[in-house]
Amino acid sequence: MDLRQLRAEAWLLVKQVRGCFSLFLIPIIVPIALSFYTRTRPEEVDTPMLLTIPQIIVNAIQQNLFPQILNFILSIFVLSASFTLIDILRKKRSEAIFSDSLRAFSSQIFTQVFLTLLCKRLLLFCWGALVWIGSALSLFSSYRVLDIYTKAGTAQLSEETAQQIINYSPAMLLGLLLIILGLVIALPQYYAYSQAEYILYDQLNEGTYKGALHVLHQSRVMMRGYKDQRFLLDLSLLGWHLLVFISFGIAGIYVTPYIHTTSVLFYENLKDLHNEKHI
């Protein structure tokens, strides 16, 4: 699979398809609005050094719950846009309109879409359990070390204070090792499930949908031997993600359609390769 050619085709498609940008209007505008909101709202002062591990976990959940829910909703809009792009690539239509970004919310397919996306996220959460445990352990240890250092309040730490800080070093190291090990385990699974949304499109259109877990299993099968290709593709797009971040999301007006079009083209190429193997 020629990734450079794939990216070039994605740019060409984004430029040529009428209404392509309107497909991603909501996934573009919402992050921009949130970016400006988070940068202009007053910062809340808290005292994390006084929290226990359970309290840190609860606090992290409370802070990330809304962004996760919002991200899940936006993923349905992105999925709607991806379904339309597949139609365009397969010559079923020649242009897109804004209402196409809502097609996954239709009563005919919403349940299947919701269950597939939810199962995918739950499975990835389980695969990344070591990352969350390691992060909580490292965060707790770092807070405790900072608390000890703050309470010491002297330029030169006493021997007792230094020893207290050293006592948390094994926990911090263990947390870091768990994070690294968790990423090694979770990253391949992330790419194994990366084609689930597009496979769902084909199964819904062909009438072969047998449940969310079957979609995810088919994605694992299709990605065997191609996870490295998808990883390299994502790596080549890293600079575009950075551009979106430093521009407060404004660059997403062009980058978001391009990145998701690239993903759709990857699936189309992967499907062709998979079909050739089974002829």
Structure tokens at 117: 């996306």
Mean pLDDT of the chain: 85
pTM: 0.82
Q: Which residues pair with 95 in a beta bridge?
A: 18
> Over the stretch 60-71, which tens digit does the pLDDT of each residue have?
565 667 778 888
**Any bridge partners for residue 110, and if so which?**
none
Burial (0-12, 13-18, 19+ Cβ within 10 Å), 258: buried
| Structure-block tokens of residue 268 | 């189309």
DSSP state at residue 92 = S
Give pLDDT, residue 45: 45
Which of 18-32, 42-56, 78-92, 241-255 shows the highest mean pLDDT?
A: 78-92
Question: Looking at residue 41, what is its pLDDT?
Answer: 58
* E strand or H helix that includes residue 103: none
Phi-psi label, residue 51: left if phi above 0, alpha if psi -120 to 50, beta otherwise: beta
State pLDDT tens for residues 93-142. Answer: 888 889 898 999 998 999 999 999 999 999 999 999 999 888 888 888 88
Q: How confident is the model over 190-219, as pLDDT tens digits?
A: 999 999 999 999 999 998 999 999 999 999
Residue range 33-61, pLDDT digits in tens? 877 766 665 555 454 445 555 655 566 56
CA 234 – CA 264 distance, rounded (Å): 13
The separation between CA 47 and the C-alpha centre of its own chain, rounded to angstroms, equals 30
Q: What are the two backbone dihedrals, phi and then psi, of residue 257, each rounded to the nearest 5 degrees?
A: -60, -40
